[in-house]
């Protein structure tokens, strides 16, 4: 059985993907990753995901009715963190983490009530506020654990439990003329799109069980369009409105709904749904994705962020971690579906900049010591401005939505790093790794990747395969790498194009050495003029390879002071590496300035990590003029 046949076998949540998708994740036993970004995964695992009392506290919310008084979203915490924890287990194979997750799964199963509900709302107020949103996350948490579970009896218990949970919902939600409550009337927030996003786990449950009642309910959800008074997917199919032009602009929830539409397409294979999702995602890339890879910069809302990210009229409550992770997951699904490297570029930018920057690596305590910051400023500002989705859960203890979802981000990056295709192996992201997988015809295929990327662009890959048939190896050449060199056993490869995959087709029975040098030149990106905001155009940003740079007050810098950075006519900056930082960074650079001095900057994911004025940071930097 090939890898693709194995991961899409009948009864798998991914069963339908065999007929629609181009790329497939490798089983977690096929890879081991190391390096600076993997360090962030292990940091989160230790700081958050192995915290058994925290898991118990989240489960306890389902044994009472803590959300009745404010119809809040504490109901999302357990399932949201469980999804990220399962992803993290898949990329670490950590047995202690597996045991911790198994314990909380068993604990959560005991919280199901006699009607099959997992809900933090009483029956008197159920199907209001964020109730269905929380029930969605309960389903997803169980479903992702089911994928890693090694106990067949426990797997059966999980399917039975979430089926009862889903059946209760189906018995009460539906068409009004059938005496049921319409899905878009189950929340007074955002036209009910939060509730409608339960489409994704319903489709996963259908793929796992094969029971038509879950597909029928999913068809109902699709027919309702996702939002009261607006059919979201029809609007995306028509492609006349950008996301920020929608009457409902809540980025996270809308993207979650489109994850469900994509799952529905994979089963129905109705082309209209695929086009709708593709239009929607491409529109986000065109109008919403910022320089650090998140979407929307007006709180959690779509707001034409591609243009507004350097606006002086937007405060620091922007670039929400929940939005970033959901964007990465949506791009991950699109990468699998299409095999288009543009979606890998989106994942990498978000992972190495927005997500890594949000992690509380300095263990700052003024937000309660949560493992993630909720918002990242792009203009001059500080981290740690607000805890997104903050809710009190026990006495004076609180938690937040971004803290729960954050761990999924780094894990999604590694789950997509090396993938399987029908005719070969695809390398999307370059980290130090050992890959022991199989060629499409079932022979062992091994790679050793040696690199310190993204610190440098130097990557060396050793490849062997026992198959005597040609196997294709696809290497992603990022869009930012304008001049890339690749050699195989010392022989240069001609015509290496960026923003695509380099295909190497050969028999690998003799070990091969592939050397890649990505274009890590430092480049300036200019801001543009905005209506009624004369200050917007007086900014620039600096990128080195995949890393966006930032000013930081700890670099003996007044980040509010305008500096003129020199660059050539193609906006390349003659920067050089510096050891001027007295705090941990991935990269520190000295940039030449017009006054004959230098401006020292570091990667934005290392900037601002004291979460106060001591490390005030700026990604869009004030500038006097642009170099010529």
What per-residue confidence (pLDDT) applies to 64?
Answer: 81
What per-residue confidence (pLDDT) applies to 151?
Answer: 98
Question: Do 74 and 120 fall within a single domain?
Answer: yes
What per-residue confidence (pLDDT) applies to 625?
Answer: 58
Burial of residue 243, with CB atoms counted within 10 A of its CB: 0-12 exposed, 13-18 middle, 19 or more buried? buried
pLDDT digits (tens, 9 = 90+) for 509-536: 999 999 999 999 999 999 999 998 988 9
Q: What is the largest CA-CA distance in the chain?
A: 76
What per-residue confidence (pLDDT) applies to 547?
Answer: 98
Contact 516, 484 (CB under 8 A): yes
Express as a percent the part of the chain with pLDDT over 90.
94
How many angstroms separate the Cα of 169 from the Cα of each of 112, 176, 569?
Answer: 14, 14, 61
Residue where a domain stops, chosen among 144, 172, 200: 172
Assigned token pair, 83:
């999804």
Q: What is the mean pLDDT of residues 494-499?
A: 95
Contact 200, 260 (CB under 8 A): yes
Q: How far apart are CA 356 and CA 358, in angstroms?
A: 5
Going by pLDDT thresholds of 50, 70 and 90, the confidence category of residue 368 is: confident
Give me the chain's average pLDDT, please: 96
Q: What is the mean pLDDT of residues 252-275?
A: 98
Question: Do 449 and 549 fall within a single domain?
Answer: no
What per-residue confidence (pLDDT) applies to 287?
Answer: 98
What per-residue confidence (pLDDT) applies to 54?
Answer: 96
Residues in Cβ contact with 336 at an 8 Å cutoff, skipping those fewer than 6 apart: 17, 21, 22, 23, 24, 25, 419
Q: What is the mean pLDDT of residues 140-163?
A: 98
Of 328, 305, 335, 334, nearest to 318 by C-alpha is: 305
What per-residue confidence (pLDDT) applies to 628?
Answer: 37
Torsion over CA: 311, 410, 280, 337 (sign): positive
Contact 15, 207 (CB under 8 A): yes
Q: Reduced to 3 states, what is the DSSP secondary structure of residue 181?
A: strand
Question: Do 574 and 478 fall within a single domain?
Answer: no
Confidence check: pLDDT of 583 > 60 = yes
Question: Do 55 and 166 fall within a single domain?
Answer: yes
CB count within 10 Å of CB 284 equals: 26
Residues in Cβ contact with 39 at an 8 Å cutoff, skipping those fewer than 6 apart: none
What per-residue confidence (pLDDT) applies to 626?
Answer: 45
Question: Do 427 and 512 fall within a single domain?
Answer: yes
- Residue at 346 is within a domain: no
- Residue at 480 is within a domain: yes
Contact 602, 455 (CB under 8 A): no
Q: How far apart are CA 144 and CA 424, in angstroms?
A: 27
pLDDT digits (tens, 9 = 90+) for 389-430: 999 887 678 999 999 999 999 999 999 999 999 999 999 999
Question: Do 55 and 151 fall within a single domain?
Answer: yes
- Residue at 181 is within a domain: no
Note down the domain range covering 507.
418-453+458-517
Give the position of tokens 């060199």: 485
Of 151, 77, 154, 75, nearest to 119 by C-alpha is: 75
- Residue at 342 is within a domain: no
Q: How far apart are CA 401 and CA 443, in angstroms?
A: 43
Question: Do 166 and 81 fall within a single domain?
Answer: yes
Question: Do 65 and 147 fall within a single domain?
Answer: yes
Segment 455-460 long-range contacts (CB within 8 Å, at least 24 positions apart): 455/36, 455/586, 455/587, 456/520, 457/481, 457/516, 457/517, 457/518, 457/519, 457/520, 457/545, 458/515, 458/516, 458/517, 458/518, 459/430, 459/515, 459/516, 459/517, 459/518, 460/513, 460/514, 460/515, 460/516
Strand partners, 397: 394
* Residue 603, H or E segment: strand 598-603
pLDDT digits (tens, 9 = 90+) for 216-238: 999 999 999 999 999 999 999 99
Assigned token pair, 72:
């809040």
Assigned token pair, 85:
């924890």
Angle of CA points 423, 426, 430, to nearest 5°: 165
Torsion over CA: 343, 407, 322, 537 (sign): negative
- Residue at 135 is within a domain: yes
What per-residue confidence (pLDDT) applies to 66?
Answer: 83
- Residue at 564 is within a domain: yes
Count of domains in the chain? 3
Residue where a domain stops, chosen among 501, 517, 533: 517
Q: Reduced to 3 states, what is the DSSP secondary structure of residue 391?
A: strand
What per-residue confidence (pLDDT) applies to 395?
Answer: 64
The CATH number of the domain where 435 resides is what?
2.60.40.1180
Question: Do 488 and 531 fall within a single domain?
Answer: no
For strands 471-477 and 424-427, give the pairing. parallel
pLDDT digits (tens, 9 = 90+) for 286-314: 999 999 999 999 989 999 999 999 998 88
Angle of CA points 593, 599, 601, to nearest 5°: 140
- Residue at 188 is within a domain: no
Instruction: Fill in the DSSP letter of residue 28.
Output: G
| Ordered alpha helix ranges (H), 120-211 | 131-148, 152-172, 193-196, 199-209
Assigned token pair, 346:
């989106």
Confidence check: pLDDT of 183 > 60 = yes
Three-class SS string for 432-458? CEEEEEECCCCCEEEEEEEECCCCCCE
Question: Do 545 and 613 fall within a single domain?
Answer: yes
Q: What is the pTM of this model?
A: 0.97
Burial of residue 565, with CB atoms counted within 10 A of its CB: 0-12 exposed, 13-18 middle, 19 or more buried? buried
What per-residue confidence (pLDDT) applies to 627?
Answer: 39
Q: How far apart are CA 487 and CA 595, in angstroms?
A: 41
Cα within 13 Å of Cα(353), Cβ side = 30
Q: CA dihedral defined by 497, 503, 507, 513, rounded to 10 degrees?
A: 40
Residue where a domain stops, chosen among 517, 532, 554: 517
Q: What is the mean pLDDT of residues 588-603?
A: 97
Of 181, 173, 182, 179, nearest to 213 by C-alpha is: 173
Confidence check: pLDDT of 84 > 60 = yes
Question: Do 133 and 161 fall within a single domain?
Answer: yes
What per-residue confidence (pLDDT) applies to 315?
Answer: 84
- Residue at 190 is within a domain: no
Question: Do 546 and 438 fall within a single domain?
Answer: no
Helix axes 152-172, 212-224, angle to 10 degrees: 50
Q: What is the mean pLDDT of residues 439-454?
A: 97
């Amino acid at each position: 059985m090939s890898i693709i046949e194995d991961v899409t076998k009948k009864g798998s949540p991914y069963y339908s993907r065999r007929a629609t998708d181009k790329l497939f994740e490798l089983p977690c036993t096929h890879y081991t990753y190391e390096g600076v970004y993997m360090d962030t995964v292990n940091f989160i695992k230790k700081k958050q995901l192995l915290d058994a009392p925290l898991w118990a506290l989240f489960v306890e919310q389902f044994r009472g009715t803590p959300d009745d008084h404010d119809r809040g979203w504490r109901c999302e915490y357990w399932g949201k963190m469980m999804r990220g924890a399962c992803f993290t287990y898949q990329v670490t194979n950590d047995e202690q983490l597996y045991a911790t997750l198994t314990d909380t799964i068993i604990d959560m199963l005991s919280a199901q009530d006699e009607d099959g509900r997992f809900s933090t709302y009483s029956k008197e107020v159920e199907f209001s506020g964020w109730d269905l949103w929380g029930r969605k996350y309960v389903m997803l948490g169980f479903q992702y654990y089911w994928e890693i579970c090694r106990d067949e009896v426990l797997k059966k218990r999980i399917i039975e439990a979430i089926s009862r949970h889903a059946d209760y919902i189906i018995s009460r939600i539906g068409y009004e003329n059938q005496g049921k409550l319409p899905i878009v009337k189950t929340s007074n927030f955002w036209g009910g799109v939060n509730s409608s996003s339960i489409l994704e786990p319903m489709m996963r449950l259908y793929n796992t069980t094969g029971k038509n009642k879950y597909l029928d309910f999913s068809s109902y959800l699709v027919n309702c369009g996702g939002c009261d008074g607006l059919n979201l997917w029809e609007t995306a199919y028509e492609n006349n409105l950008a996301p920020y032009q929608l009457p409902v602009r809540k980025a996270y929830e809308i993207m979650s709904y489109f994850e469900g539409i994509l799952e529905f397409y994979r089963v129905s294979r109705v082309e209209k749904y695929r086009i709708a999702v593709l239009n929607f995602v491409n529109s986000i890339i065109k109008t919403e994705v910022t320089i650090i890879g998140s979407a929307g910069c007006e709180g959690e809302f779509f707001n034409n962020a591609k243009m507004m990210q350097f606006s002086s009229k937007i405060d620091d409550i922007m670039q929400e971690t929940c939005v970033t992770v959901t964007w990465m997951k949506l791009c991950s699904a699109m990468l699998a579906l299409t095999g288009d490297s543009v979606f890998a570029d989106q994942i990498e930018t978000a992972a190495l900049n927005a997500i890594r920057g949000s992690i509380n690596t300095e263990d700052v305590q003024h937000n309660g010591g949560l493992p993630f910051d909720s918002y990242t400023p792009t203009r001059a500002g500080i981290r740690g401005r607000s805890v997104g989705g903050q809710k009190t859960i026990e006495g004076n203890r609180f938690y937040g939505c971004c803290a729960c979802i954050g761990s999924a981000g780094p894990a999604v990056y590694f789950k997509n790093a090396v993938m399987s295709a029908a005719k070969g192996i695809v390398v999307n992201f370059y980290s130090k790794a050992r890959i022991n997988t199989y060629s499409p015809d079932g022979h062992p295929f091994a790679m050793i990747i040696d690199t310190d990327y993204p610190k440098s662009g130097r990557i060396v890959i050793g490849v062997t395969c026992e198959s005597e048939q040609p196997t294709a190896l696809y290497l992603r050449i990022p869009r930012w790498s304008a001049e890339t060199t690749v050699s195989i056993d010392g022989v240069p490869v001609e015509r290496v194009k960026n923003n695509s995959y380099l295909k190497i087709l050969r028999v690998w029975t003799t070990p091969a050495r592939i050397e890649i040098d990505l274009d890590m030149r430092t480049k300036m990106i200019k801001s543009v003029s905005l209506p009624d905001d004369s200050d917007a155009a007086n900014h620039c940003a600096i990128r080195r390879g995949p890393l966006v740079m930032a000013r930081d007050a700890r670099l003996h810098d007044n980040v509010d002071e305008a500096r003129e950075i020199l660059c050539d006519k193609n906006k390349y900056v003659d920067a050089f590496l510096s050891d001027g930082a007295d705090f941990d960074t991935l990269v520190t650079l000295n940039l030449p300035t017009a006054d004959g001095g230098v401006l020292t900057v570091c990667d934005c994911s290392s900037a601002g990590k004291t979460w106060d004025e001591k490390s005030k940071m700026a990604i869009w930097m004030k500038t006097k003029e642009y170099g010529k």
